[in-house]
Amino acid sequence: MSFFIKSRKRKATTNTKTNIKSQEKQIPNSGSKHNALSEEIESESDADSNEFTESRDKIYSSEEEEETVQQKKLRLAKHYLSKLEEEEAEKKADEESLKVAVASRLQHDISEQAGKLTKQVAELCSCPKEQDIKTFRGHGLSVTAVVISPDDKYVFTASKDCNICKWDLETGLKVKTVKGGRKGTEDVHIGHTDHILCMAISSDGKYLAVGDMNNMVKLWNPEDCSFIHKFKGHRGPITGVSFRKGCHTLYSCSSDRVVKVWNVDELAYVETLFGHNSPITGIDSLTRDRAITAGGSDKTVHVWKITEDSQLLFHGHETSIECVALINEGNFITGAEDSSVSLWSVLKKKPMTTVKAAHNENGGFTGSENWISAVAALHHTDLVASGSKDGFVRLWKCGSDFKSLKPIFKVPVPGFVNSLKFSSNGDFLVAGLGQEHRMGRWWRLKEARNGWCIIPLKHSSVASNGSLS
């Protein structure tokens, strides 16, 4: 296809796992505890490549050969199959029923990845009453990112005040706060010392990744909010982070126009992906070894096919693309500076449909109003949401074959909507709010409050456990 191009990416020059071990051997045994603040891994773009190459040639020349793409796919497939068998073995007593259960799970996952499994839930949603929308305050400046724990019990919020807060959804109380510090105190302060712009949580809830204006991605333990590690290598503010679903591969994007891939299990840098011509504004991923990015003012969306060493390139918006979210492996939604929202298929290089002036009810684009600042999708369903500064979060229904986008209702929410996330069961939507846009201070809405809110999505048909039937 005309939009299928080879990706220019820089591969890691060393075996990251053994490289970490060799570095540990070089540390003198002083008996002092290792300072967590010094735990960082830089990409090879900031390291002395000659030194690493020399040590690698001496130590690892007889080590195991590099794994091929086919070998990697086979290994991952075997691991995934054994994991499914272990999970289903706990539920099934006899071997025959176990085989049926595993086959059913495999068929379900294949359909899900192909984008053929789409639950029709949008029509079951109804607009909540204003008194049912709960708003929480706890940050001094605009909330820039929100994520929900996989079990839907906790919400994590991050802000321009450099703080990270953990909230209990049942009680509405703040459980933990990771305090930010003053800029320039990075060497002595374990928290973030500049505006936080993005956040992501792994699908198993073991890692919380947070990106800031200091060009760093920091890893935290969601359980107790303790510091784990920091990744350095980007040359600009981190504008987006995303975990690949089902594993601990982390993707990060930045205003330096590149995407970096990290192995969180080994706390190691993997590779750098090049292709955008302007600062990247957002990133997302699902189960496949792929990432999708919004290219801002270059007006493109890239789907990075990591294993195949290639990328898909999409054009369609007339202005800067500000945000992107995957609906399933084959479809995604974007929001742009001209207040337009577009629905896409990875099989088409142009949008399937575009709603112009989606958050401008008076129509048109004045050049300074209501761009789309956040989009979200309830994965593998027909329900998506968008936010701006017009005072509303808007819910949309994706039409048949994702060729249309129909408004369902709008929810009054004052302030900039800087982040949107659906709960995994689809019962509610969380929005991060602020007086300012997460990326700058072009406008300031004095009447708004810096915080976050829960938008319940009431359904006409609800399962006994409270989730969508």
Length of the chain: 469
d(CA 298, CA 322): 11
- 3-state class percentages of the chain: helix first, strand second, coil last, to nearest 5: 15, 40, 45
Burial class (CB in 10 A: 0-12, 13-18, 19+), 34: exposed
By the 8 A CB rule, do 217 and 192 touch?
no
d(CA 279, CA 258): 8
Helix (H) or strand (E) holding 23: helix 16-26
What's the confidence (pLDDT) of residue 188?
A: 83
Residue 459 has pLDDT above 60, yes or no: no
Residue 231 has pLDDT above 70, yes or no: yes
303 or 130: whose pLDDT is higher? 303
Q: Give the range among 4-13, 183-192, 401-410, 434-443 with minimum mean pLDDT.
A: 4-13
Helix axes 95-113, 69-89, angle to 10 degrees: 130
> To the nearest whole percent, how much of the chain has pLDDT over 90?
62
Half-sphere exposure of residue 381: CA atoms within 13 angstroms, side-chain side: 23
Which residue ranges form the domains of the chain, and what is each CATH number? 69-113 (no CATH), 124-459 (2.130.10.10)
Q: Give the range among 169-173, 214-218, 264-268, 360-364 with minimum mean pLDDT.
A: 360-364
d(CA 402, CA 349): 14
Band the pLDDT of 60: cuts 50, 70, 90: very low
Strands 226-232 and 40-42: parallel
Residue 92 has pLDDT above 70, yes or no: no
What's the confidence (pLDDT) of residue 54?
A: 46
- DSSP states along 256-321: TSEEEEEETTTTEEEEEEE--SS---EEE--SSSEEEEE-BTT-EEEEEETTTTEEEEEE--SS-E
What's the confidence (pLDDT) of residue 324?
A: 98
Q: 341-368 pLDDT, tens per residue?
A: 999 999 999 999 999 999 987 654 444 5
Q: Cβ atoms within 10 A of the Cβ of 107, count?
A: 11
The mean per-residue pLDDT over the stretch 209-214 comes to 96
By the 8 A CB rule, do 358 and 394 touch?
yes
- Longest alpha-carbon distance in the chain: 69
